[in-house]
Structure 1
């Protein structure tokens, strides 16, 4: 028999103390409101355990009493993994797990607890002359545990990989309260299955990450950054291939941005100045890392070669930190600016890099056939094939009517296009509760069976993030 809300609150208070348990609806509100405002289920309670033993005790109790548990970091997720689905779950905030346990620059590792804000992890590494290269627009509020649980990507995947590739080991509490002590800094460890890779990207469905050993790198001497005019995604693809050939591993970002994104931001006063050299249908934001001992000018030289080949029509190189910041602000505000234009239909998808132009062309045409006047706003990480393929409502149309009429149909044609091109329906945002049904439609049935078997083995009572990912 399931526990009532008052019984849950009483049990939680006995384990954690009254100060670590929130049941007041107004105080819980911030934990329930996710960025896209798509999910509105209540929670039985919110708890803020102070340490690993307290979290272990909590999960033992929850497992014995079949109480659903939702791990939550900075509540920045975009697919609803971090908020309730059923209305009876307990949200476990990891905000108090906020220590940097160790930094070893010689070994190139940092051990951070799951509640550390990503930006604070950056600052801690930089204070020791090192860099943690996972950069997100939400880094001021996203926390390490959520970043790892969603296997976040960001703008530096091209050079450094996504969260999974930056993780050497994790510590996690399992559904029955046992502690998996997988923190290590070994580059070679052939002693069985790589269990950290199960937990990273599992969205809290297999265990709650409490700390991780992360790769850090020497702090760059400088960055060379340019915003480049290109005529089309096809031209951007050719330019990317040239940049990779000329710059190799120094090329750490290649972002594609459409002109409409600049128009939105300038119209709504989101930029203090136009960061571009001149008007263009498309822009590529390119950045090169310059390490100590290397000569500056590599990006400028590569762009001069691109001009000679007529791959670009204009460009501006950042000559100051303020100019570099303005260029990246332009890129990072691409999601926010769409909300100022009304409703938008959003997709986080990936295709092979060579198929990015086809994705944008075919997807835009398909959406336009369904919804005349719809405004495509595709942007993102062209260097790794991850495009945020978004569509803003026609100018002046009613937002609710637009979403009611076109949301499902546009999703269908975009995902159909993605799959035809050999891509993925979730590149870096995850599955959560938003894409559970979609995953069942597109995932290999054998892969789904394997995932369910792992879930059953590690969480037989289904208390960890119930209903998420696998449903």
Structure 2
């Protein structure tokens, strides 16, 4: 429990809106996005500035009280949820949402951690620029959360992960000290790149409060195609064809299965099947250009692919509304699994040349264990990221299927490891995969991570029980 005197000192630092204490107000913050974890906390802090946060963290650190940062609470691995002990204080960044600077000449934007991704995208668009990280949750996920998990999304193929958009950071360390690394430099060859230590660290080393982000020229035109392909191998071959034809203009390349598409068509209002052809697999591809309309290039490449049997049928969006409708089929795929019952989600990455073999092996392994499992494997084939999701067999109790989480995770993740992949492509480890990662990382790698954690957070007060095991 937080002693009354400490509570009052925190209130004095943070102001009248700086503490969340009522049970009803805290409840939504204590349950993770997927409902796997429900934690407890004596209170949550809502700082409005980096300086206020730093002063509050210094107090908590001196008292040995653990801290759990939380942004939009859209994470999928329990990384922003306090544990069940009730001993951890939640720190919310929702009041820290200023756009500190917009620099069209330098193509940068400086933002605070509580800004939503959508707000940053809109600010970039206001100066005719693009912030390219794009996620289904962009209306509610925050930049601080994106940075802490190194968020990916659908445009990684062209622009890279969140990590590759960052030029500088401001971070409050566990003891309340502030590291001001808000440098808008493309070149800074002065030793260790400290910002990269905090990106993807899931709040276990400190709390990111602001960032200098790269901006890009905004595309003037795009072409979006939905294609039926006979198998995953054809999809991977088509990816190579389109990259050759379009180069860096190929912005996205997404794989979708018929099972997942059928779920979306069943539950997404106003959706319809984009092709007459029903195929086991589909590809959604986008080419974006600065000048000329990319549709003729995409059409020509797809015609050649059809002649070679890589594509069975295809359509290219004739308008922006049609493009958005095609994208909604992909972006709704995860949510469309919910009405079908429990699902086991596996966010993995595989070297692109091995994707087809992995999907074949993993599909067969799952079917051998339970032929009734419905596979919904989709994702960002362009960067090797697959969401290898399993929907429960029809007629099975959801709780019974969820009880097999570890069983199926071991099957799938062992195959991922055999193909030199990663068991977490973009969601992070959080609490969900904390134990599991020890099966796949070498002792040297685990030891290095523990040493970094101990060096920056020797008392283990930052987001304990996540990402790094003691």
Aligned-residue Cα RMSD (Å) equals 1.4
Task: Give the aligned partner of residue 228 of structure 2.
Answer: 229
CA offsets, 1:268-291, max 9 Å, x none?
244432234532111100000111
Equivalent position SS for 1:401: helix
Task: Give the aligned partner of residue 164 of structure 1.
Answer: 163
Q: 374-383 or 302-311, which moves further after superposition?
A: 302-311
Quick one: distance in 2 between partners of 1:344 and 1:122? Answer: 31
Confirm whether residue 189 of structure 1 aligns to residue 204 of structure 2. Answer: no
Change (3 A) 1:6 1:296: same
Task: Give the aligned partner of residue 79 of structure 1.
Answer: 77
**May I ask how many residue pairs the two structures share in their alignment?**
468
Q: 458-467 or 188-197, which moves further after superposition?
A: 458-467
Change (3 A) 1:238 1:127: same
Deviation of the 1:127 alpha carbon:
1.0
Asked whether the 8 Å contact 1:9–1:23 carries over to 2, the reply is no
Equivalent position SS for 1:452: helix
Asked whether the 8 Å contact 1:275–1:330 carries over to 2, the reply is no
Q: Given the alignment, which residue of 413, 416, 423 partners 1:415?
A: 413
Superposition pairs for residues 174-185 of structure 1, below 5 Å? 174-185=173-184
Asked whether the 8 Å contact 2:220–2:291 carries over to 1, the reply is yes
Deviation of the 1:11 alpha carbon:
4.2
Change (3 A) 1:467 1:11: farther
CA offsets, 1:207-257, max 9 Å, x none?
111111111111111111000110110110111111111111100100000
TM-score scaled by length of structure 1:
0.97
TM-score scaled by length of structure 2:
0.97
Superposition pairs for residues 366-445 of structure 1, below 5 Å? 366-404=365-403, 406-445=404-443
The unaligned stretches of length 5 or more in structure 1 are: none
Task: Give the aligned partner of residue 28 of structure 1.
Answer: 26
Asked whether the 8 Å contact 2:227–2:314 carries over to 1, the reply is yes
Task: Give the aligned partner of residue 99 of structure 1.
Answer: 98
Quick one: distance in 1 between partners of 2:333 and 2:3? Answer: 41
Change (3 A) 1:431 1:8: farther
Task: Give the aligned partner of residue 219 of structure 1.
Answer: 218
Equivalent position SS for 1:226: strand
Task: Give the aligned partner of residue 461 of structure 1.
Answer: 459
Task: Give the aligned partner of residue 452 of structure 1.
Answer: 450
Deviation of the 1:292 alpha carbon:
2.5
Change (3 A) 1:293 1:321: closer
Task: Give the aligned partner of residue 55 of structure 1.
Answer: 53
CA offsets, 1:25-63, max 9 Å, x none?
111012112211000111121111010110010110011
CA offsets, 1:267-317, max 9 Å, x none?
224443223453211110000011125665221121122122221010010
Quick one: distance in 2 between partners of 1:256 and 1:8? Answer: 52
Asked whether the 8 Å contact 2:263–2:337 carries over to 1, the reply is yes
Superposition pairs for residues 252-291 of structure 1, below 5 Å? 252-291=251-290
Quick one: distance in 2 between partners of 1:361 and 1:8? Answer: 57
Task: Give the aligned partner of residue 39 of structure 1.
Answer: 37
